[in-house]
Every structure is written in C-alpha cells, then in structure tokens.
Structure 1
Amino acid sequence: MDIGSKIRTIRKSMNLSVRQLAEESGCTPSFISQIERNVANPSINSLKKIATIMNVPLISFFEEDTGDSEEEFILRKNRRIKLNSSSEKTELFLLTPTNNNRNIEMHMIVIEPGGKSDKPYVNNAEEVGYILKGTLTLSLGEEEYEVNEGDSVYFPGYIPHGWENKSDSEVVTLWAVTPPIIKNTSNERSPV
C-alpha cells in the first residue's frame, strides 16, 4: 500500500510545500518527507491531521482502485487495512471494504496487555462491540465496566469512552460503527 505517494500527489495538487503541510499538521518537514517516501510509519492521529488539512477522508489514503467488482463487497484477509497505535498498544483492522459508499464500518481491534486509550474519545456514531477474547475494562462517562469474552456492549459515541487491558494477555474485539468514523476525519476517532 503506497500511502506516501497518495499524500504527495494530493499535497502537490493543492500547491502545498512539504514545509507548509508540516507546519499546519504539527509535524516536522523531515517527517512529512519520510511519510511521502514510505520510510516512516505515521500514527492514525498524524494521518488524520494530514487528511483534515487536505480536506479528504482519512480512508482515501488506504483505498486502492483495482477495478475488481468483488472488492466492492468482499474484503479478503490479506487486503485488510491495518492501523497501529504504539502509544495505546493496539492494532486496528478495518474489516469493511473501503471502496463503496457504506453507512456502517466494522473493526477488529487487538489490544496488548497494558494497552490503554490515550484519552476519552467522543464521536457522532453508534458503536456495538463484542469481546472475542480476553477481558476489557471499558469506561463510559464516569462509569467503568469489565467486559469479558462473549460479552457485547452498545453505546452512543457522544458519551466519552475509553478502554484498558488490565490483564496479562491480549484482548480481541469486534466493533460495528455507524456512521463510519475512519472515513470521516471530522470526528474524533475512537479505536473502541
């Protein structure tokens, strides 16, 4: 996946210099250059800032135009988009095809032991989660809940929410979100 050349193409079409994009996004010019050359692995938050400045959906950096009609409906395991957050110790896999006009998005999130959201998240979506493996501590507003393997949860995204894996083994969760929040960069993105 060539995220860097997509960012470079959009930046040049906007007549933005590397320095201007760096200043507006709060990154260094060398980091922007490394992203464009696919040398650096930017965080979700960095990509979201860049997408907002460029006025494009975050998901556009990951879409591939293959001309294959199957990909409108089916996302093969080896074609999933993977987003990492090293500070939160998580891997997020987008399970929904990116090249259709969908109203729902599905994620699988793997949280390492000690993984924790950086902050409470808020968005304009509805979220439904299912715990496939492990135990997750979920914060909703002022309350904290322990959800275990086989449990499911629903909440509106306007409630400040966060999570923590307090166990010594990984937690694997599935989430359905509507409307999609990764393709809409105007929302605060929640990994849960």
Structure 2
Amino acid sequence: MDIGTKIRTLRKSMDMSVRQLSELSECTPSFISQIERNIANPSINTLKKIAEILNVPLIYFFEEDTNESEEEYVVRKNRRKKLNSPAEKAEVFLLTPTNNSRNIEMHMIMIEPGGKSDKLYVNSAEEVGYVLNGTLTLHLGDDSFEVKEGDSIYFPGNIPHGWENRTNAQVVTLWAVTPPIIKK
C-alpha cells in the first residue's frame, strides 16, 4: 500500500475530513487530496506532522505489506522509499529496510542547485554524512562548512543543523543516523 492510500485509510478510520487534516497539518486541502491520490509527495516535515495527527510512527508510511525475508535485509535500487521535498529542491531516499528492529538508518539526499533545508533541524541522533558528488554547505549552529566530494562529517543532532547547495551542480550525499529519525 502506498503512502497516500495509507493516509486516506487512517484519516477515514478516524472520521476525519480532508479539511480537518489539512488544518491540523497546516497544508491546503488540495495538497492533502493530491497526497492521498499519490499525485504529490509530502516533505519529511509534512509527513511527520501527518503521522503525529494520525497517531502512527513515521515509519508506518514506509512499511510494506510483505512476508519476504529479503526485504528485511536488502533494499533494491528500484524499491527505495523516496520523499520529495520540493521546497528544499531535494529528494531523500531511505536506504535501510523499514523494519522496526533497526537502530540506524541511511539516507541518500540529492540536492539540486539552490536547494537548502527548510529550517535548522535539532534531534537526539548522531549523524555522519559523506558527499558523493558536488560541494555541500553544512550549517552547524553558528558555523558553516564547505564539505566537498569525498569529504565526510560527523555531528550530534542536538546542534542545530541544515544544508545548502550553493553550486550550479547537483549534490549527492549519504547519511547514517542513529537512532533512526524517520522511525519516530
């Protein structure tokens, strides 16, 4: 079952209208409708809000109804969970299986020129990033660092952090996060 169908099913099971969900999630009713019809993809922040409103962990939207043991361990390239973040000009791919027993998760983030995180994030995780392609500007507290292709960085998530692509080329990064932040 896809994310939009899961949201619609949960919303209806709670006797909640599209308008009510849109008001609580601070989205327009048309955007909620587009998400439910799989025409639009919510950002991670929007999906977190919706998960909280619908009383499910964020990971619920990425779990698949399957009994195949391979999917507990292997994420095939064509089966990655993808979150679009149009406002950030980025796509986030979950590279780890979505089972609940994992204590770490990996993301690949593809950031278009001019893309940047919509805010500075704070969480209880530890994060390690690696730049596969391009140059990423990483904001940590009051500092900014240029992290170039082949460079890596570590930081505790309790430091306000965000990223930006100030170049004219796509930036591709890998991130390992523990404990998982999409799981919550």
Q: Deviations over 1:54-101 (max 9, x none)?
A: 111122112111210110011111100111111111111100011241
Q: Which moved more, 1:74-83 or 1:2-11?
A: 2-11
Q: Which residue of 1 aligns with 2:4?
A: 4
Q: Which residue of 2 aligns with 1:152?
A: 152
Distance in 2, matches of 1:23 and 1:114, equals 30
- Contact persistence 1:72–1:100 (CA under 8 A): no
Q: Deviations over 1:135-187 (max 9, x none)?
A: 11111111111111111100000101111111111111110000100121xxx
Q: Which residue of 2 aligns with 1:59?
A: 59
When normalised by structure 1's length, the TM-score is 0.89
In structure 1, the gaps of 5 or more residues are 185-192
Q: Which residue of 2 aligns with 1:50?
A: 50
Q: Which residue of 1 aligns with 2:173?
A: 173
Distance in 1, matches of 2:175 and 2:139, equals 16
1:8 to partner: Cα distance:
1.6
Distance in 2, matches of 1:3 and 1:45, equals 14
Q: Which moved more, 1:153-162 or 1:43-52?
A: 43-52
1:93 matched to 2:93? The reply is yes
Identity score, percent:
77
Q: Which residue of 2 aligns with 1:143?
A: 143
Cα RMSD (Å): 1.5
- Contact persistence 2:42–2:85 (CA under 8 A): no
SS, match of residue 87 in structure 1: helix
1:124 to partner: Cα distance:
0.9
In structure 2, the gaps of 5 or more residues are none
